[in-house]
Amino acid sequence: MSETRRTIVVGVDGAEFGLLAVRWAAQVASQRGFQLEIVHTVHLSRPAYGDLMTGSTELADAVRDDGRRIVEDAVAAAHSIDEKLEVRTAMPDAAPAENLIERSRTARMIVVGCRGTTAFTAMLLGSTAAAVLSHAECPVAVIRGRTDSAEFIPDGPVVVGIDGSPVSEQALEVAFDEASIRAMPLVVVHAWSDIGYDELGGMARLAVNWESIEGAEQRYLAERLAGWGEKYPDVAVQRVLVRDRPRHALLELSAKAQLVVVGSRGRGGFLGLLLGSTSQALAQHAKCPVLVVRPSKNP
């Protein structure tokens, strides 16, 4: 990611997770000396408002007033983290997901809450977050907590999942950078099977030479991490080998982590799939913020 990208963009809609996202994004921007941009879309031109807007400006004015209140609350939340933080705001008339995806072309990171005001309680990932995760051109942070109102674990490690795919290599670089800036250890999780251990039959388990495979995977992991210690000598690294699908270990580790970093899709992803099963599972179920690294079209 180019160092010219120095803006963290956070989307808000008045939901509690939106304010959590603002505080998290403000901390990230403050630590890096970046600018924070708070975006609230009013989308008055969408069909859902069409008939209501005909011949009347009162409702439009009310929507804009409500939007300004949401933005003011978000700015206050950001300055509660760092009163000197450079914050700019935008309130475009646009579809939320489309607007954030457009901004991702020049942003360092997009930050969204896991659910918005219009999401049903049973939905674990809002439609805006899901769309941005699938189409953004920069890393996307989905803000999750241990409970619906939880803040974050300040002293937990950064956790990253790698599987050898090109985007997981990008995720590894981002994770080292995050761990270094946060002055926290990095837990590197490498899953060496795309098939769950429990899915293997009894005889199949016996037929596999697990020790031989594990030795090869340990060497592979050592090769993947070679050189990173020199670039980030301040980051203590813990290696975790997983004989299972990666999401199980990553979800478990998220309960004590301050951030989990993954690629948008791994080696097992179908070409047409925009979001892999691991990143999707974490965005829906993790107990901490999840940073999904996407292949950048504008490095």
Q: Are 141 and 175 in contact (CB under 8 A)?
A: no
What one-letter code names the amino acid at 51? D
Range(s) within the chain of domains with CATH label 3.40.50.620: 7-143
Predicted pLDDT of residue 168: 85
Q: Which two tokens stand for residue 13?
A: 């809609």
How confident is residue 214, by pLDDT bands cut at 50, 70 and 90? confident
Predicted pLDDT of residue 222: 87
Q: What is the CATH number of domain 158-293?
A: 3.40.50.12370
What one-letter code names the amino acid at 291? L
Would you tell me the crossing angle of helices 58-81 and 16-32 to the nearest 10 degrees? 50
Q: What is the mean pLDDT of the chain?
A: 81
Q: Which of 164, 127, 142 is nearest to 282 (CA)?
A: 142
Mean pLDDT of 210-235: 84
Q: How far apart are CA 242 and CA 189, in angstroms?
A: 7
Predicted pLDDT of residue 264: 85
Q: Which of 259, 255, 222 is nearest to 237 (CA)?
A: 222
Mean pLDDT of 156-179: 91
Q: Phi, psi at residue 191, to the nearest 5°? A: -95, 125
Range(s) within the chain of domains with CATH label 3.40.50.12370: 158-293
How would you classify the pairing of strands 290-293 and 140-143?
Answer: antiparallel
Predicted pLDDT of residue 188: 95
Of the chain, the percentage scoring pLDDT greater than 90 comes to 48
Mean pLDDT of 76-91: 97
CA separation (Å) from 16 to 40, 73, 127, 256?
14, 11, 16, 22
b/e code 220-238 from CB counts within 10 Å (16+ = b)? ebeebbeebeeebeebebe
Q: Which of the given ranges, 82-91, 119-128, 189-198, has the highest pLDDT on average?
A: 82-91
Mean pLDDT of 189-204: 57
Predicted pLDDT of residue 166: 83
What one-letter code names the amino acid at 187? V
Predicted pLDDT of residue 212: 65
Mean pLDDT of 257-274: 67
Angle at 223 between CA 133 and CA 257, to 5 degrees: 45
Beta strands in 114-192 (DSSP E): 140-143, 158-162, 186-191
Predicted pLDDT of residue 203: 43
Residues whose CB falls within 8 Å of the CB of residue 23, separated by 6 or more in sequence, listed in order: 77, 78, 80, 81, 151
Predicted pLDDT of residue 271: 38
pLDDT digits (tens, 9 = 90+) for 117-153: 444 333 346 788 889 998 999 999 999 876 545 567 7
Q: How far apart are CA 44 and CA 63, in angstroms?
A: 8
Mean pLDDT of 194-208: 49
pLDDT at 17 over 90: no
Q: Which two tokens stand for residue 82?
A: 């760092």
Q: How far apart are CA 245 and CA 269, in angstroms?
A: 13
pLDDT at 269 over 70: no
Q: Which CATH superfamily is domain 7-143 in?
A: HUPs (3.40.50.620)
Q: How far apart are CA 170 and CA 250, in angstroms?
A: 17
